[in-house]
């Protein structure tokens, strides 16, 4: 009878695992398709506004067109998302965007340390064989460190966007007073704090070393990876080629950024109640488990020592993680 019960629990856990994996795969495909659509629209809009082709994007699109039918290429892209070291170009771009001086070797070392900690924690809970936990720990460590790098890069880019209106105002005042654009950018780089200041100073320094202003702007735009910075590069590039009122275009962009930030604050205030509810609901199971462990340890102990309890605990943690992810997505709005 215990064997039948264990088999039933294992079958239930397997079914739940299949459903969870299928749902996450479908969600990943949907998010990936939407991301590709947005990137394609951004590239088309950039080419249409600037009147120039991005040579790097053209080379990349040609390479993808040649290898699109290759199963090995698609498999390599998928593995590169799970194991970031296999896609070194994207990993280096994420590290540069995050403003970190980490090398690929440093990324591997950090991933091994995090993976060792995750594998040790999993061994203490499940007592599974170490040869089985070690590869999983390495993959988890790489994904965790890569997620941290992406999170830091996105946070740095968001802070750049919050500081950009003040830098644009400095440039607008300089342009209206008759100064060249590159001098205005250099002044903004000196007056603005990080991360806007270092980026604008790098533009000024590259132009002084002989690089065209448009190329220096697009270099920073690739690092920041925000459409507003693309618009800034396009506006200055068009003004250099054809002339026009650069101050008016930059003023409109500054006003747009301030309105978007104001709208984000409104959304944050409106969704604060839902976020608080999500935090309370997500923390409640852990609080109850801690209280029961203190008041009646023998009642909670089978969850950790019995195989059926371990399966139930894993299913519960998975459902909590999925619920937290769904609530996080419901409270995340895009403007």
Phi, psi for 217 (deg, rounded to 5): -65, -45
b/e 313-335 (16+ beta carbons within 10 angstroms → b): bebeeeebeeeeeebeeebeeee
Alpha helices in the chain (DSSP H): 2-50, 55-67, 71-82, 88-97, 104-126, 130-176, 181-191, 196-208, 213-224, 227-242, 246-270, 272-295, 297-300, 302-305, 307-330
CATH topology of domain 158-261: Receptor-associated Protein (1.20.81)
Q: What is the pLDDT of residue 23?
A: 62
Q: What is the pLDDT of residue 57?
A: 52
User: Which tokens sit at 130?
Assistant: 């170490």
Along the 335 residues of the chain, how does pLDDT read in single tens digits?
344 455 655 666 666 666 666 666 665 665 566 566 556 655 554 454 444 444 455 445 545 444 444 555 566 566 666 677 777 888 888 999 999 988 888 998 999 999 999 989 888 877 778 888 888 888 889 889 999 999 999 999 999 999 999 999 999 999 999 899 899 999 999 999 989 999 999 999 999 999 999 899 999 999 998 888 888 888 888 887 777 788 888 998 899 889 988 988 888 888 888 788 888 888 899 999 999 989 988 888 888 888 888 888 888 888 888 888 888 787 777 66
**Rounded distance, CA 239 to CA 246, Å?**
6
Residue 30 Cα to chain centre, angstroms: 16
Going from N- to C-terminal start, the domains of the chain cover 1-69, 158-261, 271-335
R_g over Cα of the chain? 25
Helix (H, G, I), strand (E, B) or coil at 275: helix
Q: What is the end-to-end Cα distance of the chain in Å, rounded? A: 57
User: Which tokens sit at 106?
Assistant: 């440093």
**Rounded distance, CA 218 to CA 206, Å?**
12
**Using an 8 Å Cβ cutoff, are 237 and 220 in contact?**
no
| pTM, to two decimals | 0.69
Closest CA to 251 of 335, 164, 179, 180: 164
Q: What is the pLDDT of residue 70?
A: 54
**Using an 8 Å Cβ cutoff, are 33 and 22 in contact?**
no
Largest CA distance in the chain: 88
Contact partners, residue 59, CB within 8 Å, separation at least 6: none
User: Which tokens sit at 275?
Assistant: 């976020």
User: Which tokens sit at 221?
Assistant: 């735009």
Closest CA to 198 of 179, 219, 175, 212: 219
């Amino acid at each position: 009878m215990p064997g039948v019960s264990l088999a039933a629990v294992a079958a239930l856990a397997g079914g739940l695992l299949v459903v969870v994996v299928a749902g996450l795969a479908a969600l990943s495909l949907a998010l990936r398709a939407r991301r590709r659509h947005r990137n394609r629209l951004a590239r088309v809009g950039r080419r249409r506004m600037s009147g120039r082709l991005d040579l790097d994007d053209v080379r990349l699109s040609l390479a993808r067109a040649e290898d699109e039918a290759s199963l090995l290429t698609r498999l390599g892209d998928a593995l590169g998302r799970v194991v970031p070291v296999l896609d070194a170009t994207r990993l280096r771009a994420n590290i540069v965007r995050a403003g970190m001086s980490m090398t690929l070797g440093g990324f591997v070392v950090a991933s091994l340390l995090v993976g060792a900690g995750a594998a040790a924690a999993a061994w203490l809970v499940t007592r599974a064989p170490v040869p089985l936990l070690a590869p999983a720990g390495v993959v988890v460590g790489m994904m965790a460190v890569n997620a941290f790098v992406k999170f830091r890069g996105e946070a740095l880019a968001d802070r750049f966007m919050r500081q950009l209106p003040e830098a644009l105002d400095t440039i607008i005042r300089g342009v209206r007073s008759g100064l060249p654009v590159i001098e205005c950018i250099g002044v903004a780089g000196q007056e603005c704090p990080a991360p806007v200041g270092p980026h604008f100073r790098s533009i000024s320094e590259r132009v002084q070393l002989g690089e065209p202003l448009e190329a220096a702007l697009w270099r920073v735009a690739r690092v920041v990876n925000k459409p507003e910075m693309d618009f800034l590069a396009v506006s200055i590039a068009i003004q250099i080629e054809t002339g026009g009122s650069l101050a008016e275009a930059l003023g409109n962009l500054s006003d747009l950024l301030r309105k978007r930030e104001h709208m984000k604050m409104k959304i944050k205030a409106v969704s604060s109640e839902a976020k608080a509810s999500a935090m309370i609901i997500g923390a409640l199971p852990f609080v109850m488990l801690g209280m029961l462990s203190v008041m009646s340890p023998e009642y909670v102990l089978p969850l950790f020592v019995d195989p059926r309890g371990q399966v139930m605990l894993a299913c519960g943690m998975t459902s909590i993680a999925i619920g937290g992810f769904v609530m996080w997505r419901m409270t995340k709005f895009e403007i």
